[in-house]
Amino acid sequence: MTRIADPGAALKTLHWGRNYLYVTRLETENGPLEVVVKQFRGRSFKDRWRGSKAERSWRVAHALLDAGLLTPEPVLLVEPTDGDRPSFYVSRHLAELLEARYLLRAANIGREREEFSEIDLAAVLTGMGRMARRLHDAGFWHRDLTSGNVLIETGDAYRFYLLDLNRTRMGRAPSFSERMRDLSRMPVLRPEHQELYLAGYWGERIRGHSLYLFYHRGFLLKNRSKQRLRAGAGRVKNLLVPRGVHPHIPEAPAGASARDRAVWDHLSDQPHQHAGRLDKLRVRLADTRSHAEEAAVVAAALPRILARYRTLQRDLHRAPVPFAGAGICLRPLPEAPEALLGLVDELGTRHVLLRLHPWEDDHAEEEALARELHARGLELTFALPQNRDLVRDPARWRRSIERLAPLFLPYGRRFQVGQAINRSKWGVWTLDEYVELVRSASEVLRQDGEVEIVGPSVIDFEHHVTAAVLNLRRPGLRFDAVSSLLYVDRRGAPENRQAGFDTVDKVLLLKAIADTGRNVSGGRCWITEVNWPLREGPHSPAGRAVSVGEEEQADYLARYYLLALGTGAVERVFWWQMVARGYGLVDLTADGELRRRPSFAALRTLIRELEGSRLETVTEEGMARLHRFRREDGGETAVGWSAGPSPARIMLPRPAVAAVGRDGGELPVPEGAEVELTPSPTYYRL
């Protein structure tokens, strides 16, 4: 029972919104059963006398089945003993059924024959109308009878299963007006399709057509208005009210101050900050002096940074640059340590960043993994993130580094000190707190000879923080390479711009800051963390608006590596991480199986095709992008893609003799030198 109510047991995310729906497996006397779990947040005031949403779903499901209507078989009702905790409604998973929303989306744009050639749309529309009539006549008013809440069973006859039952009212037949309101929520947009839908409901003599259209248009207008209103209200709410959290996230320590309210989220493998925006603002105001110094340092450095940035822009792609340094981040995989090593071998990378957790006492798994990777001849870098406890206790931080140094120095001489220092959830509120961490760690690590210290590990496009750290006048503050967790996922595609900067511009600006920084040797730059999160509920490290599908993730990964490493301004780019729910190259399912995502194949192909080659030229024509490489064997490979959602055409330097898709599969060789590019990069061997 505990496993059912644990989102960590999810095999697949079905819906991620106000409530969370996921598929998991329930062990029964007759063997494992796949079920859908709908997790409802804590009870509202009305739920205290109406029953929880899960309980109402349970009651309505049984009543529907008793009335001869269809809904996935209810299996379990899980209610909390604490009324503020989530409740769960569990039903059988009907994986083979089609969600009506996909058929209707295609029908509304006239593509139902192309996308669903085996389905009779007219029969489906009239069938849904008949089902709605039976529902109402049996005394049920669904109140959310939309395409996302109907599953279609195809075959000799169409059958319809109802979902999302907690709002349903039962016990009396709905009024004429209520019937029309229910029907109007189904997104049937074309007049001829509406006629079929209503004919299914009423028979030959359609009634209430005008009232149906009135409610239908009102519903569409309400949805559009609600989206705009929610966007504006959301911005105000974010300022005044602490963000809601997934139920699995622990509460902040009792009595903790605003600086100390971060906790660890084990599903997304990162901290969660309970302090709200106003709490954080009060802390920032208390630290005004520190932030004023930071701003002054950046202002003083800005002229030389901009001068160097303009030079880098002018010289971009004027000379060939080596293409190397595609890497992967790792954490131990206790469930399958040998399988993890096999994935590293299969990927083909020579560069690994292994994240250690200094706040933990046992690092045997990390040490064993480092030993095996080192024996394979891989280049290892170790990341040393911080948490608030270590920031508050510098002596404990130093003891942790003293314990880790002899364990890992035999396997690698590069250490990234710090993690996302511009995010309070990682425990750093002022730059002086971070400086203390770096100086202490550097003193310990450099005692053993030549060691490279990498930092300051600022996350996202907030290069002003990097510029401040690299120009602070503090004794003992010195980096051998500049690291950035340069995420661009919030902009969608890596070619998209933020404040006028695309990924290439952001990389060049980072390089300009490194080249002009007072506290860095040589101006070397690394991107030590990047990914695009997936739509997988609480496993995703970012919100729904940022998340993408697996195909988009694979496209963006390949394009990001091509763009960033193609500048010649960064030595390494690491994807965080190899195996992870919600964002990794490989998904560790709740059954313990390792499923390679398209992004794994995309990175493997990029390394196989380009590692060790030299980027010769870059061509941009509209949305078309073409990077031409000279391989180590003397041959040439051109990599092309469309930076937009639509295909784009471009001329290759000369005809190709072979073509390889993003995931490594062979493609038909194009006739002639003109090719059509898609958002997925294609490798043309010339």
Q: What pLDDT digit, counting tens, does each position of 321-330 carry?
A: 999 999 999 9
Q: Tell which CATH architecture fits domain 7-92.
A: 2-Layer Sandwich (3.30)
Please tell me the predicted confidence (pLDDT) of residue 1. 54
- φ/ψ region of 319 (left if φ > 0, alpha if ψ in -120 to 50, else beta) reads beta
Pair 677, 644: CB distance under 8 Å: no
pLDDT in tens, 297-330: 999 999 999 999 999 999 999 999 999 999 999 9
pLDDT > 90? residue 501: yes
Residues paired with residue 573 on neighbouring β-strands, in sequence order = 326, 527
Cβ(586)–Cβ(578) below 8 Å: yes
- What's the per-residue H, E or C state across 563-627? HHHHCCCCCEEEECCCECCCCCCEEECCCCCEEECHHHHHHHHHHHHHCCEEEEEEEEECCEEEE
C-alpha distances (whole Å) from 386 to each of 264, 342, 402, 461 are 12, 30, 15, 21
CB neighbours of residue 179 within 10 Å: 24
Cα 585 from Cα 619, distance rounded (Å): 29
Q: What is the share, in percent, of the chain residues with pLDDT greater than 90?
A: 80
* Domain ranges within the chain, ordered by starting residue: 7-92, 98-224, 284-611, 617-685
State residue 550's pLDDT score: 95
Q: Does residue 362 have a pLDDT over 90?
A: yes
3-state secondary structure 341-408: HHHHHHHCCCEEEEECCCCCCCCHHHHHHHHHHHHCCCEEEEEECCCHHHHHCHHHHHHHHHHHHHHH
pLDDT, mean of residues 385-408: 97
Residues 679, 555: contact at Cβ < 8 Å? yes
The DSSP line for 487-504 is --GGGSSTTS-BTTB-HH
DSSP-based three-state secondary structure for 462: coil
Burial (CB < 10 A; 0-12, 13-18, 19+), residue 387, is buried
Looking up tokens 């690491």, which residue turns up? 574
Report residue 391 as tokens: 């920031």
The Cα–Cα gap between 455 and 383 comes to 10
Cα–Cα distance for residue pair 560/493, rounded to 1 Å: 9
Separation between Cα atoms, residue 528 and residue 486, nearest integer Å = 8
What pLDDT shows up at residue 459?
97
Amino acid at 24: T
State both tokens at 129.
């109308």
pLDDT digits (tens, 9 = 90+) for 435-446: 999 999 999 999
Quickly tell me which residue has 């519903």 as its tokens. Answer: 219
Backbone angles phi, psi at 418, to 5 degrees: 100, 160
Which residues, in sequence order, are bridge partners of residue 548? 534
Average pLDDT over residues 653-674: 95
Q: For residue 67, what is the DSSP state?
A: T
Superfamily of domain 98-224: Aminoglycoside phosphotransferase (APH), C-terminal lobe (3.90.1200.10)
Render pLDDT for 9-36 as a digit per residue (tens, 0 to 9): 777 888 777 788 888 888 888 888 899 9
| Res 160: pLDDT | 97
For 106, the enclosing helix (H) or strand (E) is helix 100-108
pLDDT score at 242: 57
Residue 234 has pLDDT above 60, yes or no: no
Average pLDDT, the chain: 92
Cα distance between residue 160 and residue 134, in whole Å:
11
What is the DSSP secondary-structure string of 223-261? HHHHHHHHHHHHHHHHHHSPPP--TTSPPPPTT--GGG-
For residue 238, pLDDT beyond 70: no
By three-state DSSP, how is residue 482 classified?
A: strand
Measured on CA atoms in the order 207, 211, 214, 215, is the torsion positive or negative? negative
CA gap 428, 437 in Å, rounded: 10
**Token pair in block for residue 367:** 């040490």
Calculate mean pLDDT across residues 589-609.
92
Do the Cβ atoms of 264 and 271 come closer than 8 Å?
yes
Sorting pLDDT into bands at 50, 70 and 90, what band is 268?
A: confident
Helix (H, G, I), strand (E, B) or coil at 675: strand
pLDDT digits (tens, 9 = 90+) for 66-86: 999 999 999 999 888 766 678
Topology given in CATH for the domain delimited by 284-611: TIM Barrel (3.20.20)
> Could you tell me which of 134, 99, 128, 132 has the C-alpha nearest to residue 196?
128
Name the residue among 249, 443, 286, 454 with its Cα closest to residue 355: 454
CA 210 centroid distance within chain = 44
Classify residue 191 by its DSSP letter: H
- Percentage of the chain lying above the pLDDT 70 cut: 95
Each residue's pLDDT tens digit, 145-192: 999 999 999 988 899 999 999 999 999 999 999 999 999 999 999 999
pLDDT in the model for residue 42: 64
Give strand ranges (E) for 57-202.
74-78, 87-92, 98-99, 140-141, 150-153, 159-162, 169-170
Instruction: Tell me how far apart the alpha carbons of residues 380 and 528 are, in angstroms, rounded to a whole number.
Output: 12
Strands 414-417 and 379-384: parallel
Cα dist from 94 to 34, 91, 100, 629, whole Å: 8, 9, 14, 48
- Provide the token pair at 498: 């933020």
Separation between Cα atoms, residue 479 and residue 537, nearest integer Å: 37
User: Quick one: average pLDDT of 288-293?
Assistant: 95
Q: Among 95, 93, 90, which Cα is nearest to 5's? A: 90
Q: Is the pLDDT of residue 282 over 90?
A: yes
**Cα–Cα distance for residue pair 235/87, rounded to 1 Å:** 28
**Strands 74-78 and 31-40: what pairing?**
unpaired
Domain 617-685 maps to which CATH number in 2.60.40.1180, 2.60.120.10, 3.40.50.2020, 1.10.645.10?
2.60.40.1180
